[in-house]
Structure 1
């Protein structure tokens, strides 16, 4: 199976497409690959472990997988918002004086006194 960010080639309607993996997701114990071509079109593939091959899904099934992916993976709360985290505000206040640039001497190539 391809990893996120990896590029692979796949023939669709007798035309070879270069696709980049956007996400690997599992839905009901089935593994899917969401890939994007250079035009920004998302394609969804089912990964068949038994045959070790990927199969392009039709538009309806692809839309269902993409909707699930967008709601579960992209639509969630932003839990990593650094600026709204009180812990970092507290740390900034505690160490602000410790790393003040007043004692920085440029003549000595970035050394502190």
Structure 2
């Protein structure tokens, strides 16, 4: 999962296996982002099922976080994260071509 602070442009890369559930996403956000940087005012995400679930929406509402979903047909509306995703994919393809199972070990170097 790629988390980008829209103000500072700082990023946090969180390795997750497969498509995480809303609960797994919430746990990762609390462990890697909220705990270290505090609760954000706004979260802009894609329309993945983990971000459109009632559980995620309810959790964000309880913490006073505004949730915005990017357009499904216009991923550029979340441009910083989309651009970063492309760069990370390029990096991992070059460094993990022989050891694809170890991609998460190389993730800190992509940052």
Q: TM-score range by the shorter chain?
A: under 0.3
Give the structure-1-normalised TM-score: 0.27
Q: Considering fraction of residues, name the structure with more helix.
A: 2
Q: Considering fraction of residues, name the structure with more strand.
A: 1
Greater C-alpha radius of gyration = 1
Q: Which has the higher contact order (CA 8 A, sep 6+)?
A: 2
Give the structure-2-normalised TM-score: 0.27
